[in-house]
Structures are given as C-alpha cells and as structure tokens.
Amino acid sequence: MDILLSYGEQLLLGASVTLQLAFTALLFGLVLGLVFAACKLSSYTYLRRTVNFFTNFLRGVPEFLIILICYFGLSNLINNQFDGVFEISPFVGGVFALAIVFSAYASEVFRGAFNAVPVGQIEAAKAYGLSRTQMFFYVQLPQAWRISLPSLNNMWQSLLKDTSLVSVVGLEDLLKKADMAAQYTKQPFVFFVAVAGIYFLFLAISNPVFAYLEKMANRGFTARS
C-alpha cells in the first residue's frame, strides 16, 4: 500500500491522460459516427457502399492493430508526402485510431436510430414548415439520441477499456505509468491490480451518468398511468 501511495501522483497523472484520451476520442468518434451515419443514409449509392465497406472493414480488424497502423502509418504517410521528419505523438495517433473505431460502431447505431424515428413525425415536422436544419436538431436528433443511448453506453465502456492499448505505442497513460512503476519496484501485481481497480471505478462511475442521461432523454416517455 505504501508503494502505491508513493507512486500515487504518477498514477493520477496517468489516469488523467487516460481520461483525456477517452473523452477526446469520444468527441471525435461521435461526430465522425454521425457523419458516417449520414453517408449510410444518403441516396448516393456509391457513397453508401464505400462507407459501409469501410466501417465493416474497421469492425473486423483488431483495435490494437488499428492503433499500431494509425500511429506508425500516419507518421510514415506524412513524412512521405512532405519528406520531413515529422512524427505524430502517441496521443494523436491513439485518438485518431480510437475515434475511427468508435465511429465505425456508432455509425451503425445512429443509422438504426435515425431509421427508427417514426415517419409520421418527420411528415408532421415538414407540415409545420420546419426547415431541414430545424427538423434535424429539434425532431430527429433528440429521438435518435434517446434510441442510441443504451448502445452508446456499451461503446463508451469498450472505448474506455481500449484506451489501455495506446500504452503499447508509448503513451504515458495509466497503464504505462503503472508498468514503469512495476519495473522499478519489482512489484507488478500491486500496480496492475491498482490499474484494474481504477478502470473499474471509472466504468462504475459512468453507469449512473448514462442512467441519468437516459432518464433525461426519456422524460417525454414516462409511464402514463
């Protein structure tokens, strides 16, 4: 326990990096997921097919491999284009990889959610003279959000767990800090169990948050007696 406390500050630093990584990837993943979902619902056949192929491919490849490809591949790509010695940071590579993985799953969820918005409501919105933007933000998005929240909860949990993979490409996140401490103190068990405990705590905290969000999103649907 004393050892853990003496490295407490380092572990906290690592935990904050992990959370930053997770939230940044979540933000980009949600936006990208919406864009992909829009492409999948578009009337252009080729756009739809391309995006479908891309997301299906992404969902079939291990997240770990995608992180490796993004981290090493992006630097190589940039260096070949501009022949410089530019190197992207593990953080940027990690966010990029986790965000596209998240968006691949999210696009499928959003597509289903937008399809599940009853046609009558969209017709009603049109009949009320709402513009397309207004219809999207006031009618479609809130409903799609409500329908997709439970799946988003699952995806967020896997995203949070997947952040640990970025430590392999050298990001000093929670797991990497624990790994360094473990090598220095020769007590890997203590540190890795502590990491597991912290992740468990993060996930345990996010459950009530999602329960609250779902309650808020469902307030139009409270049981009528």
Q: Which of 30, 33, 88, 179 binds other proteins (CB under 8 A)?
A: 179
Binding residues with other proteins: total (CB under 8 A): 37
Which residues, 35 to 54, sit near other proteins by CB under 8 A?
Answer: none
Which residues, 67 to 126, sit near other proteins by CB under 8 A?
Answer: 68-69, 72-73, 76
Q: Rounded to whole angstroms, how far apart are CA atoms 183 and 198?
A: 19
Structure letter (DSSP) for residue 213:
H
Q: Rounded to whole angstroms, how far apart are CA atoms 25 and 28?
A: 5
Q: Which of 203, 209, 211, 216 binds other proteins (CB under 8 A)?
A: 203
Q: Rounded to whole angstroms, how far apart are CA atoms 13 and 20?
A: 11
**Which positions from 127 to 166 touch other proteins by CB under 8 A, shown as an x/- string?**
----------------------------------xxxxx-
200 near other proteins (CB under 8 A): yes
Q: Rounded to whole angstroms, how far apart are CA atoms 9 and 177?
A: 10
Distances (CA, A) of 7 to 1, 20, 21, 223: 10, 20, 21, 50
Q: Tokens representing 94?
A: 């990690």
* Binding residues vs other proteins (CB under 8 A): 56-57, 59-66, 68-69, 72-73, 76, 161-165, 167-168, 175, 179, 182, 186-189, 192-193, 195-196, 199-200, 203-204
